[in-house]
């Protein structure tokens, strides 16, 4: 058969029985943002089973592949890109969305995006909590699925906030949490 019009992968890996078992590539994005110059041009992907984030770097026509340590308990299922070219990764098992950051910026900045929201689904109230006690949750915005702002909590100075749901109708909402560093996380919230 004629393969002249096919585009072959620039890189590949196999499932392995030694080390971290890899089973499912979650295809990602090439970094095009400007906030983190060290990431420029790198391609990010993940493996659902190993919980590793993979990085492809073009080195003169040869693509070098490296993996992070596993981020256990996430189950990477998708990537996204904002209008500024910043890349985000979603974990279905953790229910969190993280922004891809340059590791040389330090672990503190990476943990800024680790915001938990529970219980979810919620009945009477729910809690928004930072896993990093140095991170202050400055504001929380709750939107309906049409994008209308329903509730806003601002000027907070806590790493844990309890929110009542009496003013919220039963249904699905999007909750945006903004920390003192300016980082944003978005969570689905189900009110029952």
Q: Where are the chain's structural domains?
A: 1-105, 113-192
**Strand duo 125-130 + 76-81: pairing:** unpaired
Region 94-103: mean pLDDT is: 81
Low-confidence winner among 17-31, 55-69, 162-176 (lowest mean pLDDT): 17-31
Assess contact for 44 and 27: CB atoms under 8 A. Answer: no
Low-confidence winner among 14-18, 28-32, 65-69, 93-97 (lowest mean pLDDT): 14-18
Q: What stretch of H or E contains 111?
A: helix 107-111
Q: What is the dotted CATH code of the domain comprising 1-105?
A: 2.40.10
pLDDT score at 110: 45
CATH top class, domain 113-192: mainly beta
Give the whole-angstrom CA distance, residue 163 versus residue 146: 21
What pTM does this model have?
0.54
Does residue 112 surpass a pLDDT of 60?
no
pLDDT tens for 156-168 read: 778 889 999 999 9
Query: In the chain, how long is the greatest CA-to-CA distance?
Result: 65
pLDDT score at 74: 86
């Amino acid at each position: 058969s004629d393969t002249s019009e096919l585009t072959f992968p620039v890189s590949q890996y196999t499932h392995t029985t030694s080390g971290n078992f890899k089973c499912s590539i979650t295809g990602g994005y090439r970094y095009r943002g400007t906030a983190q110059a060290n990431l420029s041009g790198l391609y990010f992907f993940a493996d659902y089973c190993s919980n590793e984030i993979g990085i492809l770097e073009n080195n003169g026509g040869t693509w070098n592949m490296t993996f992070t340590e596993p981020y256990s308990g996430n189950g990477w299922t998708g990537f996204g890109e904002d209008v500024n070219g910043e890349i985000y990764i979603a974990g279905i098992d953790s229910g969190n969305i993280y922004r891809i950051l340059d590791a040389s910026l330090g672990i503190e900045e990476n943990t800024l995006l680790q915001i938990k929201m529970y219980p979810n689904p919620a009945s009477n109230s729910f809690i928004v909590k930072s896993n990093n006690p140095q991170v202050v949750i400055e504001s929380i915005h709750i939107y309906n699925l049409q994008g209308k702002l329903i509730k806003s909590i601002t000027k907070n100075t806590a790493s844990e906030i309890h929110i009542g749901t009496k003013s919220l109708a039963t249904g699905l909402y999007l909750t945006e949490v903004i920390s003192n560093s300016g980082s944003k996380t978005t969570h689905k919230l189900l009110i029952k």
